C-alpha cells in the first residue's frame, strides 16, 4: 500500500475528511476491484483484504489447478506443470492462491487507480458534507472567519468545511475580521455543480429563536413557547412568549435576573434591542402589548380587513410609532394587523409639535418661529398666508393644512 502513496493511515484520513471507516473501506475495495476488472477482465476470483487499523491493503488471486491440456485461462486457472514447479504437492482440482503486487498493474494502471481513488474520495467527501449539513438546517453553528469579501463571508467550521454567510444574511452594521469566531444558523444547503454550498444566516428569525433556546432553559425544555417573532435585524425585535404553567413568568424567565439572559442575546445580535411580551389570543390585548411602551386608550379591530385603529393621547403617539417608525412596523409584523394610530385631542386643538411623525421637522420649526405653534392657529390662515409668514412654498402649506384637517376630523369622529 505504501508504494502507491494513496493513504498512510485510515484513522488519520477519517479525522481529516470526516468519513467513517466502513464507508472508506467500501470505497477502497470498489476502486481496486474496478482496477482488477480493467487489468484482468474480472474480479470474481480475487480477494481484496483491507486492514483498517493498520491502513494495509492486500489483493489475492484464487486459481484452480487444471491439467496442462485443459489450461485455457491464466486468470482463473493455473496449469499443473506451473504449480508443481512452485509446489509439487498441488494436484488437479486444488485451488491456488497467490499475492498480487501493485507493481504488476503497471505504471499507467497505478496512475489511473490513484486518480480514480482521489476522485471517488472527493465525491464522497462532498456527499458526506452535504448530508451532514442538510440534517443541520435550522441549527446554530460556529466557525472561524477565514475570508471577508464584499458580497459574502467565508467561514471554516471545526473540520475546515467551508460555510458561506451572504451579505443579505448579515446583520446591518456588523464588521467581520479574519480569525474571529462567528455564530449563525444553517439556512440552506445547496448542491451547485456537484459542490455543496452551505448558506448561513444571522438575520433569520429562527436564529433569534435558537439563541433564546440556548440561553433560556425553560424554552429548551418546552416550559415556555415562542409564539411569534417580528424582527428588523440589527435594529429591534419583538418576541411573543407563552407558558402553559401559571407558576412560570415567561417574560421574566426570558429576560433573566437583572437582564442577564437577554443581554447575552442582545450582545450576540450586535446590540439589537429585543422586546419580550406575553402572548395572548386576544387580538386587542396583543396589539396593546405589541405597542409598548406606548399606552393606548382605545383599540378598534376589524377582523375581516385585518386592520386596527389605535387611539392614544398625543404624548403617546411618538412612543407608539417609535424611532424611524420601528415600533409600529414591528407591531404590524407581530400581530399581522395593519395598525393605524390616531390622537385623542381635547378641545379640537393641539401643539403643532405633536405632528413630527407626519410633518417635516424643519417645517414645524418654521411655523413655530412665526407663532403658528398650534393646529387651530395654522388652520385659521390660508395656504398663501402660511407660506408667506413661514417662508414656505404654497404647495407645502397646502399639504400641512390637509394633514391637520384630516387629524382634526379623525379626532372629532
Per-residue confidence (pLDDT) for residue 18, from 0 to 100: 57
Q: What CATH number does the domain located at 352-412 have?
A: 1.10.150
- CA separation for the pair 234, 270 (Å, rounded): 6
Q: Within 10 A of 333 (CB to CB), how many other CB atoms are there?
A: 18
Query: Does 351 score more than 90 pLDDT?
Result: no
| pLDDT-based confidence at residue 20 (cuts at 50, 70, 90) | low
Reading the block at residue 385, the C-alpha cell is 398666508
How many angstroms separate the Cα of 402 from the Cα of each of 163, 274, 325, 384, 399? Answer: 54, 37, 21, 14, 5
Residue 372's pLDDT band (cuts 50, 70, 90)? confident
So what's the pLDDT on residue 6?
47
pLDDT band at 205 (very low <50, low <70, confident <90, very high): very high
Q: Name the pLDDT band for 253 (thresholds 50, 70, 90).
A: very high
pLDDT digits (tens, 9 = 90+) for 76-93: 888 988 888 888 888 899
> What gap in Å lies between CA 176 and CA 147, rounded to an integer?
9
Architecture of domain 2-132: 2-Layer Sandwich (3.30)
Three-state SS at 125: helix
Confidence band, pLDDT 50/70/90 cuts, at residue 8: very low
Could you tell me where in the chain the CATH 1.10.150 domains are found?
352-412
Please say whether the beta carbons of 185 and 198 come within 8 A: no
Give CATH 3.30.300.20 domain extents, the chain: 280-341
* CATH match of 280-341 with 3.40.640.10: no
Kindly report the CATH class assigned to 136-203: mainly beta
Q: Is the pTM of this model over 0.75?
A: no
How would residue 7 be classed by pLDDT, with cut points 50, 70 and 90?
very low
Q: Where does residue 269 rank: exposed (0-12), middle (13-18), buried (19+ CB within 10 A)? A: buried
User: Please, which residues have CB within 8 angstroms of residue 379's CB and are 6 or more apart in sequence?
Assistant: 401, 404, 405, 408
pLDDT tens digit sequence for 30-52:
888 888 888 888 888 888 887 76
How far is it, in rounded angstroms, from Cα 28 to Cα 283? 63
- Kindly indicate the confidence band of residue 140, based on its pLDDT and cuts at 50, 70 and 90: very high
**Cell numbers placing 16:** 481529516
Amino acid at each position: 500500500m505504501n508504494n502507491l502513496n494513496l493513504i498512510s493511515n485510515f484513522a488519520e484520513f477519517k479525522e481529516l475528511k470526516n468519513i467513517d471507516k466502513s464507508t472508506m473501506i467500501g470505497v477502497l475495495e470498489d476502486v481496486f476491484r474496478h482496477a482488477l476488472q480493467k487489468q484482468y477482465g474480472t474480479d470474481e476470483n480475487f480477494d481484496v483484504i483491507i486492514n483498517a487499523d493498520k491502513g494495509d491493503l492486500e489483493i489475492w488471486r484464487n486459481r484452480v489447478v487444471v491439467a496442462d491440456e485443459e489450461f485455457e485461462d491464466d486468470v482463473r486457472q493455473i496449469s499443473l506443470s506451473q504449480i508443481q514447479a512452485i509446489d509439487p504437492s498441488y494436484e488437479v482440482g486444488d485451488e491456488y492462491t497467490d499475492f498480487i503486487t501493485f507493481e504488476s498493474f503497471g505504471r499507467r494502471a497505478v496512475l489511473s487507480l490513484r486518480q480514480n481513488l482521489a476522485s471517488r474520495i472527493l465525491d464522497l467527501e462532498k456527499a458526506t458534507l452535504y448530508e451532514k449539513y442538510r440534517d443541520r438546517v435550522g441549527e446554530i453553528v460556529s466557525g472561524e472567519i477565514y475570508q471577508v469579501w464584499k458580497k459574502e463571508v467565508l467561514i471554516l467550521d471545526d473540520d475546515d468545511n467551508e460555510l458561506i454567510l451572504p451579505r443579505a444574511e448579515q446583520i446591518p452594521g456588523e464588521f467581520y475580521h479574519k480569525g474571529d469566531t462567528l455564530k449563525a444558523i444553517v439556512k440552506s444547503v445547496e448542491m451547485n455543480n456537484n459542490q455543496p454550498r452551505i448558506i448561513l444566516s444571522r438575520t433569520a428569525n429562527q436564529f433569534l429563536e435558537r439563541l433564546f433556546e440556548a440561553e433560556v432553559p425553560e424554552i429548551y425544555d418546552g416550559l415556555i413557547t415562542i409564539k411569534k417573532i417580528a424582527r428588523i435585524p440589527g435594529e429591534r425585535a419583538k418576541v411573543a412568549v407563552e407558558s402553559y404553567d401559571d407558576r412560570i413568568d415567561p417574560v421574566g424567565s426570558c429576560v433573566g435576573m437583572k437582564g442577564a439572559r437577554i443581554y447575552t442575546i442582545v450582545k450576540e445580535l450586535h446590540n439589537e434591542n429585543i422586546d419580550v411580551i406575553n402572548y395572548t389570543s386576544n387580538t386587542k390585548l396583543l396589539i396593546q402589548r405589541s405597542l409598548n411602551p406606548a399606552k393606548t386608550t382605545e383599540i378598534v379591530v376589524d377582523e375581516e380587513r385585518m386592520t386596527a385603529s389605535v387611539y392614544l393621547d398625543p404624548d403617546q403617539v411618538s412612543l407608539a410609532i417609535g424611532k424611524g417608525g420601528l415600533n409600529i412596523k414591528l407591531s404590524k409584523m407581530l400581530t399581522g394587523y395593519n395598525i393605524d394610530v390616531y390622537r385623542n385631542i381635547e378641545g379640537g386643538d393641539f401643539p403643532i409639535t405633536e405632528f413630527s411623525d407626519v410633518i417635516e421637522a424643519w417645517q414645524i420649526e418654521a411655523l413655530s418661529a412665526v407663532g403658528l405653534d398650534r393646529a387651530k392657529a395654522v388652520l385659521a390662515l390660508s395656504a398663501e398666508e402660511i407660506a408667506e409668514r413661514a417662508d414656505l412654498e404654497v404647495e407645502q402649506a397646502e399639504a400641512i393644512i390637509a394633514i391637520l384637517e384630516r387629524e382634526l376630523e379623525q379626532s372629532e369622529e
